[in-house]
Structure 1
């Protein structure tokens, strides 16, 4: 009789010996009442990011705590339940280090924005116009489409490879520095060529190596910036992006008569930007001891498998919403020089040189207008979004504002219409840039695969170039002019608004 063991009573383990100290602390926290949690001292960051990846389902979190029956879904990234002062990599950066991270993001986007926009919107179209004016619209569409396909695969592959990288410099640093140098070499090659096939080859090389650098760069936001500061940091990133893009149009318009110098300056900018950013950021810590999946072809190919499951629906709304919004943006800005030359100034009677100089003047004025309104929007939208706790509504509202701006050149067939587009759409796109990346991070299914999943989301940037260029090229070839580009852009952007508003669980 004394040998009888009561199941679950006599044979239960000694929890004081079976549980680790960390597990005991977790149990102790679970036993506390919600009203007592304000007195709990914040725990130190941990190195295992998986311990911080508990997520709420796409159902509304406040509804669940109000007792409506929804339960947390640990597979969803909709609402991050970890300490908002701790980053995904387990670190707890100081406010000064967060400032350094934001400064590095901002400077990078300024430099790359200036280079990309001046080359893609002004200098490269002008080079093609000089070499093969009869093929300009078709070739720009081709170069954007092929380059975007290259960028699409590069973004996902290099985001995944950086996720899997283990080195004493961390997982992102080496990719960012080397990618910038290789991209700069391709840009420098454009100073020596007048051949359309070589231009296409070098442009594809730039797309490849830029995404070699950019995919790990974007993933750093998810890795190292705590949730508490993501809206503000993203706002400064948006401001940097807007400043770079608008300054790029201005710089391109100033260099339109010396495009080889523009390509050389662009090469220097790309080569230097990675080292500049790494120098500004706090040093990335070694991750040689961090566990990871084996780096092989199988795991790289898995990067092309998009997220699945209940929490992935919001991810796809964000993906296709961004795709349509940036496609609308690309429809006008990607053909900005040609639109001004052959739509806005179509009745001017200017010769080729006069047309080039007048178009450059309009581009420069638009750049200044866009720079002012976009910076105002970008630097205020993020902090306001943080304070209100809203992401989806501001992004959708900004998209509507961009659509209104796109209607201005359609209504006013002159330079005034383009200036109104610069002011209204520029403000809308400034707000969009400031907040959209935070919205994207909020719908990531798995923070441990931020590089891969952000690569899939940033796929929208590359596919949008294909879509935007294809739509504009098709409309121009069918109609022979640029008049229908604007209403088509409005429709595309309003589709983006509809998709963004379908996201659940985010205000």
Structure 2
């Protein structure tokens, strides 16, 4: 059947929708990045000081592996959900509630195995709202307004990671930081869950075979979707390699006595730079009706930031690199999401298809430790690591122009 849920939206979203949508993403990013940037490295440094790099790689890799499965699965389930509250909202509510509990439980993890299990639970549960909120954009936002919407999503990313890092550091004790991140994530989700307008939808009859086969999207039949997946994967892989050991890089190479505060300062600088580009790139891409130039340009600036860290590994160099990385990632993220919503194969599978594309963001978290750990420990150190990251990002930037259906 055809419904308003499946039809391409034509009515612009309201300011109220934008605020509720952005708040939900702020909470989601605070819940993910507070632990990722500060709390997990601190906790691992306390629990396994002699092998902290490999242990952190194990924790992050396991969590990312869970998100690889969880994101497309929850997206597909939300596509097929029958509910008077709509097909997305139940998963947003359940995911935030469960994710907040899992973050709080991490605060009490006594050993590394419990940290691994806790982070896997956080990544799994928070990928439910991640998938459902992503699908809300093609569900509710007209194509001509998606660059602006993606710009607000990028703004939420800036505020969310800044809030997460701030809560993690300002909480003092690691356990307090976890509890603050959990509380903020839950509170920020409530306006969208309670006040959002959600169109009920009756999906087709459930067929397990069709459901499982749907996770394979043939790149020959849908080449732009395939190129979109590959370019997102490469750019995010390069970015993941850059950020993976930032805490340890500041401690062991730059020589900061308080690397946690250094991460907070760099996050603030990065956020301000990203804010400046994200609020310009998204709306400008709508106005010019062009996406690829912004995605490619942003990725190339990110690559330049990685090179800068490699050749200038002092605090001043890292600060300048943070500015460049913020500008590049702001332009890239604001427009990449809008571009990808325009290459989805089928309206009824928006959640699942965006979930498959989100694998291109999650898979790098699994592969980054595999790439980074041997380079840092024996194949050139941090200087080589950041040059490898730059090469990966340049490759992704160039291949964006293989996407033909979007300008």
TM-score (normalizing by structure 2): 0.94
Give secondary structure in 2 for the equivalent of 1:482: helix
* 1:246 and 2:162 are equivalent in the alignment: yes
Q: Distance in 1 between matches of 2:114 and 2:132?
A: 28
Which residue number corresponds to residue 329 of structure 1? 239
Q: 1:179 to 1:437 in 2, by over 3 A?
A: same
From 145, 163, 172, the counterpart of 2:61: 145
Q: 1:253 to 1:189 in 2, by over 3 A?
A: same
Give secondary structure in 2 for the equivalent of 1:463: helix
Q: Distance in 1 between matches of 2:186 and 2:285?
A: 34
How far the C-alpha of 1:309 sits from its partner, in A, is: 4.6
Aligned-residue RMSD, C-alpha: 2.0
* 1:100 and 2:11 are equivalent in the alignment: no
How far the C-alpha of 1:280 sits from its partner, in A, is: 4.6
Which residue number corresponds to residue 198 of structure 2? 284
From 124, 149, 157, the counterpart of 1:208: 124
Which residue number corresponds to residue 309 of structure 2? 409
Q: 1:491 to 1:415 in 2, by over 3 A?
A: same
Q: Deviations over 1:103-129 (max 9, x none)?
A: 222212222222321211111111000
Q: 1:154 to 1:405 in 2, by over 3 A?
A: same
* 1:305 and 2:216 are equivalent in the alignment: yes
Which residue number corresponds to residue 380 of structure 1? 280
* 1:344 and 2:254 are equivalent in the alignment: yes
From 155, 175, 187, the counterpart of 1:272: 187
How far the C-alpha of 1:191 sits from its partner, in A, is: 1.4
Q: Is the 8 A contact 2:67 2:123 kept in 1?
A: yes
Q: Is the 8 A contact 2:31 2:103 kept in 1?
A: no
User: Which structure shows the higher helix fraction?
Assistant: 2
How far the C-alpha of 1:135 sits from its partner, in A, is: 1.9
Give secondary structure in 2 for the equivalent of 1:285: coil
Q: Distance in 2 between matches of 1:480 and 1:135?
A: 19
Q: 1:458 to 1:300 in 2, by over 3 A?
A: same
Q: Distance in 2 between matches of 1:438 and 1:387?
A: 13
Which structure 1 residue ranges, 5 or more long, are not aligned?
1-46, 50-85, 349-354
Q: Distance in 2 between matches of 1:408 and 1:449?
A: 41
- Residues 47-86 of structure 1 correspond to what in structure 2 (within 5 A)? 48=2
How far the C-alpha of 1:480 sits from its partner, in A, is: 7.8
From 115, 118, 127, the counterpart of 1:199: 115
Q: Is the 8 A contact 1:241 1:433 kept in 2?
A: no
Which residue number corresponds to residue 433 of structure 1? 333
How far the C-alpha of 1:89 sits from its partner, in A, is: 4.0
How far the C-alpha of 1:501 sits from its partner, in A, is: 1.9
* 1:293 and 2:205 are equivalent in the alignment: yes
Q: Distance in 2 between matches of 1:258 and 1:410?
A: 32
Which structure 2 residue ranges, 5 or more long, are not aligned?
none
Q: Distance in 2 between matches of 1:504 and 1:92?
A: 24
From 36, 39, 50, the counterpart of 1:120: 36
Which residue number corresponds to residue 421 of structure 1? 321
How far the C-alpha of 1:375 sits from its partner, in A, is: 0.7
Q: Deviations over 1:53-100 (max 9, x none)?
A: xxxxxxxxxxxxxxxxxxxxxxxxxxxxxxxxx97446654x4x4323
Q: Deviations over 1:272-292 (max 9, x none)?
A: 3432322353x20222xx341
* 1:237 and 2:191 are equivalent in the alignment: no
How far the C-alpha of 1:132 sits from its partner, in A, is: 0.5
Q: Per chain length, whose mean CA-contact separation is higher, i.e. which structure has more relative contact order (CA < 8 Å, sep 6+)?
A: 2
From 191, 205, 218, the counterpart of 2:134: 218
TM-score (normalizing by structure 1): 0.76
How far the C-alpha of 1:269 sits from its partner, in A, is: 2.7
Q: Distance in 2 between matches of 1:101 and 1:392?
A: 27
Q: Distance in 1 between matches of 2:382 and 2:170?
A: 24
Aligned length: 407
How far the C-alpha of 1:196 sits from its partner, in A, is: 0.5
